[in-house]
Amino acid sequence: MSFKKDLRQLLKPYYWVNILLSISYVTAKRTSVICNFLFPDVDCELDSRETEILFFLIIVVMLRTRKAGSVTMVNYLSSSFVYTKIANLILWLYADVRYGLPFGALLILTALLIPEPTYTGPEHLTYFRGVSTLDEELRHKGNTWLVCLYAAWHPACVNFAPVFAELSASYSLENLKFGKMDIGRYPEAAAKYRIQDGPSSRQLPTVLLLTEGAESLRRPHPDTQGKLQKFLFSKDNVKAAFDLDALYQQCKEKLATKPKDKTKDKKTQ
């Protein structure tokens, strides 16, 4: 099911256009008709420098997408596009500046006209504007909060956004709520919850389980020696780590046993 969903996602213009840009140079160089037209005085083979650039690209993509926590085909592609397009720009410039400059202009144009699709499904999220608004919500006893602390510019946070939104739509209750706070805009939240928000941070995103106003669990989390444990933010991993099915049932049972408000509007006599 997830594979079919990824295939439908790939049909959107952003993905197939970026795939074409990412394979443009190799396709042009290895297709004899195109190669003979663009490079009439050059053999249609990749030379040693071009091979080195492509090999280095493969290593970078594998390392960076893993670090970003990409766990699906679409996430891998989205995380790798920036590196593959830069590599292609370098290759086109290396082959001929007259081809490299228009290709660079094409990259800028497609980035402006065809942005990456965002999640458009249902969500039940509260977006907190600073620590004070979150603290105010936590004063209401009886509520359990799952809060995602993120940075809008971080690839792993971008990849996790639709997953968290989908979970909020599936598990949200009156007393089980989902929230988000951008610690890039509200650095005091990063300080309070001890999260590094730099480009090399391994704590983005961080998901907190807040019960009765206090933190009871977080991912990623440090071990007994203080070393941060790696966590891949897939839907199944988050459900298992926070035991969302059991948590949902517990909160639902509390709602069922909660005394109903017997206050009714009285008619004016």
Tokens coding 12:
């959107």
Give pLDDT tens digits for 45-73: 888 888 888 888 888 777 766 555 555 67
Q: Looking at domain 125-257, does it have CATH number 3.40.30.10?
A: yes
Domain boundaries, the chain: 11-113, 125-257
pLDDT confidence bin for 264, thresholds 50/70/90: very low
pTM over 0.85: no
Beta-sheet strand order (sheet of 214-219): 125-127, 176-182, 144-150, 206-211, 214-219
Instruction: Give CA–CA dist 235/69, Å, rounded.
Output: 12
Instruction: Give CA–CA dist 216/210, Å, rounded.
Output: 6
Q: What is the DSSP letter of 208?
A: E
Are 99 and 38 in contact, with CB atoms under 8 Å apart? yes
